[in-house]
Structure 1
């Protein structure tokens, strides 16, 4: 969108001055700091002999005794067997929860990445578990193949994406882990297991979304589809008009999502449809610049909600603002240079339209917010811990800048999500524990029993998993 931080700053400042706002409300707002108390940008300083790690958002931080980079299956098995304490695998660190955090051994799978085998007859491909999604897409493209869908960020590793049920969007498109036809993993005793639906149907369904709790994944065999081209259309319009036709819009397009910009009454819908048209010329995106513009608008006019809304609606473009054609791997995922913090819940599809309106209203009630809200649809699958195994879901994600407050996620929004029967994204912030999750997931207790059988001494536990599983944890 051709709205820049500079134009927002200049325009909003002018509007504020024209309004003659010199009262206490504006002065108080101008002196406000939005940086949350205790925020630290850099990774923690590690004691001598230890390492330093933090996740992408910076809210999970650790100084593990070691960060291990095994280069082979044998080295991985030996690391797991010989590690004196707990072991936690980590991918790209893009989860916002404490799934990977440990003070013992942090396990990086960079050495177990890349294409291992490709079957031209079936289109199935085997990849190392540490392969980033963007690399998988590139490797598949070299064989004329593609994922049937992709998430909006593709820096995650396969193991991390599958472990947390990472997904894209589309009425008839399931989450990424539904493409898994087999996997290999090393268990807590160093044993190697090859798993398919035929060889062990229970472990197969439990392992596709396993939170890194059953073992360390080493490779996945995946379905692929012939490479395909998409047309991307981005449209900005009034939120009330858009919401009246939400279900019809979602059904009309292969991939469908929309963003709501708080305090504007405007949404941007993003749809993708199959096409044989030639690729259009690629231009640099300015999503990050636009986001900084929204922040500037909050900073300058947050003291006057009516003025903020009026200025935004006068300055934002309307109608179709972008049309692009390219390969699916180019259009479905984007780069997110601005770090943020996120909560995302997956609600029964029929509750989506009602709940998204409630969330939008709640966002507008808080003058300190500016990050867009994201809404997507996901088709069901059968993995035991998949948030989508109970039927079609609507996903609603809220965000905050990495350096700003996010406690209101839990007080203002999570209760609404839970009331609607929502299940949290495993890699994004939530407060649920064993009792809550057992109620939401029919196979949850079976999963916990399988975990105890495979890892009786809790080799792969950490504090976050202990809360999810309702077990004692002695760090």
Structure 2
């Protein structure tokens, strides 16, 4: 059985009827410009002899002297030898300033594809520049699978592992936890093969490296046999869903939910192993849902009561989708609408209290409309993994790419931190060295190892210098 999701669209008739409501508030709101000051979708102008680079959302920009795309480790070592500063880049899906450099940016996309696989052991080796979606498809053809996926799969393996990208699942660890070994070219041009047995410290640091230890060219991953999932999506009142969150996270292999601000409703999503005949995934209507929520904000943002009333009458209730397919066709979703994002990982026991405060803070601003995403991840033991001290609830908030996001820092971040939150390394946060030392028992060990591998700071940029508490001379 497959159930359509089109019903989640906000009813145009309800919107049209409510537009007839007169009032000074509506007139004032209808003229509101939501764009943030200084927003431009264009790349920065590059001086002669340099090139322009920006991340996916455009929030991070730089004009490096060169973007190198080496084909071999010898090419990579040569580029490193000639450069004063180097930053590796993946797909550009990080919102923090991990990549920007005025010197050399190294794109490892030519280190791509499945190198080898073994169904008997479950081991598979990939070029580090392989996109997650490509890795999943190539593994599927070989009868293997990744144990989990994030909700976006366009990132490279190196970029996702290096920032502790995760999916959702009470018993499922972040993606980097399945690394069995990697190959890294360090600042002096040396290529090293690293495993937990051969170099336990470098392995534990390199699983989540922030691209600060060198350029990783290859990963060996522990995989599982190919599998299918059944997906269910349903809409219910937020309060009733929150009462069931912990039970749902234990009952389902993968569970997450989205809260729609100013509606009082949330969409739950579960995935479970499925052995029957697959139906195929239902066509994705997320963009239409987002457009409906934006329209509700644009027209009725001046009245939170009216927004809730219209949403209550327009949103469907109960199950809106049931489908089954290969795991890689269900777990990840395309995100064509660009945004900026903050995500903090909260100790599971504090997660719901933090979430309620974040929702209240968001709904103190009438201009918010983007859904919030809430996931749960099992612990691992990488030095810089946000999940290395126990399971955590991840709370992600988003702002349209052209709209203000300063309240992420002024309003939301203090709430996350008060509940013991650790930020996603690739998503917006303001933390520095002293904050991170207090959060991560192994952070100083990471700093010491980084300094030993890269004493001249070749892999530093301003953002990393801030994280590590070191001086940076551009």
- Which residue pairs with 2:19 in the alignment? 16
- Which residue pairs with 1:387 in the alignment? 386
- Which residue pairs with 1:210 in the alignment? 209
- Which residue pairs with 1:221 in the alignment? 220
How far residue 44 of structure 1 moved from its aligned partner, in angstroms, is: 1.2
3-state SS, counterpart of residue 178 of structure 1: helix
Q: Give 1:29-178 correspondences, 5 Å limit.
A: 29-83=29-83, 85-178=84-177
1:119-142 Cα distance to aligned partner (Å, 9 max, x none) = 232110110010000000011001
3-state SS, counterpart of residue 6 of structure 2: coil
Question: Matches of 1:336 and 1:277 in 2, distance apart?
Answer: 29
Question: Matches of 1:282 and 1:180 in 2, distance apart?
Answer: 29
Over 3 Å counting, the alpha-carbon distance change for 1:341 and 1:283 in structure 2 is same
Over 3 Å counting, the alpha-carbon distance change for 1:416 and 1:361 in structure 2 is same
- Which residue pairs with 2:6 in the alignment? 2
Over 3 Å counting, the alpha-carbon distance change for 1:443 and 1:282 in structure 2 is closer
Q: Is the CA contact (8 Å cut-off) linking 2:52 and 2:63 kept in structure 1?
A: yes
Q: Is the CA contact (8 Å cut-off) linking 2:116 and 2:124 kept in structure 1?
A: yes
Q: Is the CA contact (8 Å cut-off) linking 1:9 and 1:296 kept in structure 2?
A: no
Question: Matches of 1:133 and 1:162 in 2, distance apart?
Answer: 10
How far residue 366 of structure 1 moved from its aligned partner, in angstroms, is: 1.2
Question: Matches of 2:44 and 2:7 in 1, distance apart?
Answer: 36
3-state SS, counterpart of residue 218 of structure 1: strand
Q: Give 1:335-374 correspondences, 5 Å limit.
A: 335-374=334-373
How far residue 10 of structure 1 moved from its aligned partner, in angstroms, is: 5.5
Question: Matches of 1:328 and 1:283 in 2, distance apart?
Answer: 14
Question: Matches of 1:211 and 1:310 in 2, distance apart?
Answer: 45
3-state SS, counterpart of residue 435 of structure 2: helix
- Which residue pairs with 2:466 in the alignment? 467
- Which residue pairs with 1:28 in the alignment? 28
Are 2:275 and 1:276 equivalent residues in the alignment?
Answer: yes
Question: Matches of 2:8 and 2:102 in 1, distance apart?
Answer: 42
Q: Is the CA contact (8 Å cut-off) linking 2:258 and 2:371 kept in structure 1?
A: yes
How far residue 16 of structure 1 moved from its aligned partner, in angstroms, is: 2.8
1:189-245 Cα distance to aligned partner (Å, 9 max, x none) = 101111001100111001000100011001000000011111000010011111111
1:323-370 Cα distance to aligned partner (Å, 9 max, x none) = 010011110111000001000000101111211122122222211000
3-state SS, counterpart of residue 377 of structure 1: strand
1:159-179 Cα distance to aligned partner (Å, 9 max, x none) = 000000000000000000000
How far residue 108 of structure 1 moved from its aligned partner, in angstroms, is: 0.3
Q: Is the CA contact (8 Å cut-off) linking 2:129 and 2:217 kept in structure 1?
A: yes
Q: Is the CA contact (8 Å cut-off) linking 1:124 and 1:221 kept in structure 2?
A: yes
3-state SS, counterpart of residue 245 of structure 1: helix
CA RMSD of aligned residues (A): 1.1
Question: Matches of 2:143 and 2:366 in 1, distance apart?
Answer: 48
Q: Is the CA contact (8 Å cut-off) linking 2:377 and 2:391 kept in structure 1?
A: yes
3-state SS, counterpart of residue 466 of structure 2: helix
Question: Matches of 1:171 and 1:234 in 2, distance apart?
Answer: 18
Q: Is the CA contact (8 Å cut-off) linking 1:210 and 1:385 kept in structure 2?
A: yes
3-state SS, counterpart of residue 363 of structure 2: helix
Over 3 Å counting, the alpha-carbon distance change for 1:345 and 1:75 in structure 2 is same
Question: Matches of 1:127 and 1:61 in 2, distance apart?
Answer: 29
Residues paired across the two proteins, number:
470
Question: Matches of 2:472 and 2:157 in 1, distance apart?
Answer: 28
Which has the higher mean CA deviation after the structures are superposed, 257-266 or 245-254? 245-254
3-state SS, counterpart of residue 273 of structure 1: strand
Q: Is the CA contact (8 Å cut-off) linking 1:3 and 1:293 kept in structure 2?
A: no
Question: Matches of 2:276 and 2:316 in 1, distance apart?
Answer: 26
Q: What TM-score does the superposition give when structure 1 sets the normalisation length?
A: 0.97
Q: Is the CA contact (8 Å cut-off) linking 2:8 and 2:316 kept in structure 1?
A: no
3-state SS, counterpart of residue 263 of structure 1: coil
1:262-305 Cα distance to aligned partner (Å, 9 max, x none) = 00000000000111121114442111111011101100010111
How far residue 48 of structure 1 moved from its aligned partner, in angstroms, is: 1.4
